[in-house]
């Protein structure tokens, strides 16, 4: 065999490529569905994170978001006679969402930390109560 690549290996590689293309098509489909929620700031942390991650790596989804942002926000603003700069405004909006996600994640961690402290304090008070009882 030339290059040491068997027909079987070539077939496997082809299948893998097709699989990954189908997989990313699925991700893009679910991304598209989340666009309205993203623009309304209704995505939960996990969804928002996945959304922003995919946005960074997928050009066609970036285009899709630009179009929907233009239709949704741009038209509205232009109708009101406000200034609108598609790419700049969209980037600013994405940046705000990234910041918000970071803040929410920190809050979640802080809440978790408080919970751990509460459980610890509660357990400690039980132990203390038992010690005093004896």
Q: Where does this chain bind Zn ion (CB under 5 A)? A: 28, 58, 61
Nearer to Zn ion, 48 or 61 (CB): 61
CB 24 → Zn ion: shortest distance, Å?
A: 6
CA 12 to chain centre: 31
CB 6 → Zn ion: shortest distance, Å?
A: 33
Nearer to Zn ion, 39 or 58 (CB): 58
Nearer to Zn ion, 91 or 125 (CB): 91
CB 54 → Zn ion: shortest distance, Å?
A: 6
């Amino acid at each position: 065999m030339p290059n040491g690549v068997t027909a079987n290996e070539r077939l496997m590689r082809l299948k893998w490529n097709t699989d990954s293309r189908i997989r990313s098509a699925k991700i893009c489909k679910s991304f598209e569905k989340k666009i309205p929620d993203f623009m309304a700031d209704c995505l939960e942390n996990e969804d928002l994170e996945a959304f922003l991650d995919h946005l960074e790596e997928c050009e066609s989804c970036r285009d899709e978001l630009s179009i929907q942002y233009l239709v949704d926000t741009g038209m509205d603003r232009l109708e009101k006679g406000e200034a609108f700069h598609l790419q700049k405004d969209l980037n600013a909006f994405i940046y705000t969402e990234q910041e918000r996600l970071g803040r929410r994640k920190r809050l979640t961690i802080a809440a978790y930390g408080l919970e751990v402290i509460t459980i610890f304090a509660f357990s400690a008070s039980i132990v203390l109560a038992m010690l005093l009882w004896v």
